[in-house]
Amino acid sequence: MSVSRRSFLIAGATAVGAVGSLGAVIAAARPAARFAGDGECPAYGFGKLVKDPDGLLDLPRGFQYRVFSEENTRMSDGNPVPSSHDGMAAFPAPGGRTALIRNHELNPEDIAEDGLTPVRHLAGAVYDPDALAGGTTTLLVGPDRRLISHRVSLAGTLDNCAGGPSPWGTWLSCEETLDTVGKAHGYVFEVDPVFGGNPVPIIPMGRFEHEAVSFDRRGNAYLTEDADSPHGCFYRFIPDFPLGGRGSLHRGGRLSALAVPGLGTDLSIVQTPGMLLYATWIDVPNPNPADGESSTREQAISLGAVPIQKLEGTWTDPDGSIWFVSSRGDGPDAEDEEDRSAAVHSGQIWRYDPDRQTIELVALFPKGTPYDGPDNITVGPHGFAIACTDGEDDQWLVGINEEGRVFPFAFNALNDEEFAGATFSPDGRTLFVNTQGPPGLTFAIWGPWRSGPPGNLVL
């Protein structure tokens, strides 16, 4: 997406020396007002949401939904639908159908203490036989947006939070944990829409609290880390065999972490939408630390990588830029020391340009916005991104247009459970998304998407 508004370029330590302290310059800037008030949407918004008579999902006028694959219903393989629906991506399937690969963010404590339903073990697709918890399921949806089948595709993993699609049409499922059960966890796994999950972890992509992954046009991967002590990092993985197809990521590569020359603090200090920062990358010496060794993020931050609080989703836009999300900044007065950051915000949406080597703050969610805590994000073909919120109270799907304005697209009218896994179908006509639950649900949403100039609608 092109950004026409004025941008500010911070050129690193030399420029900082000319204008004074970078932290002071950024902190003095006022955040722009970029939110639709009370349902009045800016350009590329869809108007006020209509109350759902069934009490599930409020949407703009003209949009409708279908819900399927509810938690604990019976799947095609005879297993119950697991709990905690999370990250997801859509892939083309024969006959105009769509394959969805869906994560389930579960660990043994969830099963033992909360009675949640695990991903049942599937022969040939189990990483850790002692871990009956998370994994993935694969759904096949017809052109009429009705569920055809759903089944287990990867098991024996933990806290499969988000992930992302590969350039060759597979899903990368990310573990958001460093726990050890029978085996060490904290890895990325590949799942094919047809052949199912490969239970061998992709060791070169690092061991850390993975959240999500996206790819640029060169085949480099970008990974977010949802960690808090210290904050996480934003990583780049350069494969030894870029764009090499299924299984190629296991063959090695180089993991590095984002640094911003001259910043001198965490990324929350940036409060001006449109601001550009130069990006550099610092190699991680040991991307696969064992328990008790210096963690991946500790190594990276000690070498100058920028700390980022609560890193969540990432996605590639049609122009090849990489979007990533920091869902909150708790500020210097946060009660817990591990939650403290340089400045306060309720969400930052960033975009990395691999060609220019810059990151841009696309949108800022100021403290007090009703749409707090952006989490998973997707960028569709219609000129805007969709972010799933995981806020303190109400839960929304919000759109972010090319001017950085945020508008409501959907509201969880059933409960206060977060949205997760928003993803557009390959033809762009359907948005699939989950509510994590309980009860975990998957929705197909369609309606008058805008594509190109106003008035050109895709139904």
Is the pTM of the predicted complex or chain greater than 0.85?
Answer: yes
The torsion of the CA quartet 260, 262, 264, 266, rounded to 10 degrees, works out to: -30
Closest to 313 in 3D by CA, of 232, 253, 429: 232
Question: Residue length, the chain?
Answer: 459
Structure confidence by residue, pLDDT tens digits, 325-337:
999 989 899 888 8
The pLDDT score that the predictor gives to residue 455 is: 36
Q: What is the DSSP letter of 288?
A: S
The pLDDT score that the predictor gives to residue 44 is: 55
Closest to 111 in 3D by CA, of 84, 91, 150: 84
Span 203-232, average pLDDT: 94
The pLDDT score that the predictor gives to residue 456 is: 35
Sorting pLDDT into bands at 50, 70 and 90, what band is 377? very high
The single-letter code of the amino acid at 287 is: P
The CA distance from 267 to 210, in Å, is 19
The pLDDT score that the predictor gives to residue 29 is: 41
Burial level of 318, CB count in 10 A (0-12/13-18/19+)?
exposed
Mean pLDDT score across all residues of the chain: 89
Give yes or no for residue 30 having a pLDDT over 70. Answer: no
For the beta carbon of residue 37, count every other beta carbon within 10 angstroms. Answer: 10
Q: What is the DSSP letter of 114?
A: H
Closest to 57 in 3D by CA, of 451, 446, 450, 458: 446
Residue 199 token pair? 């239970």
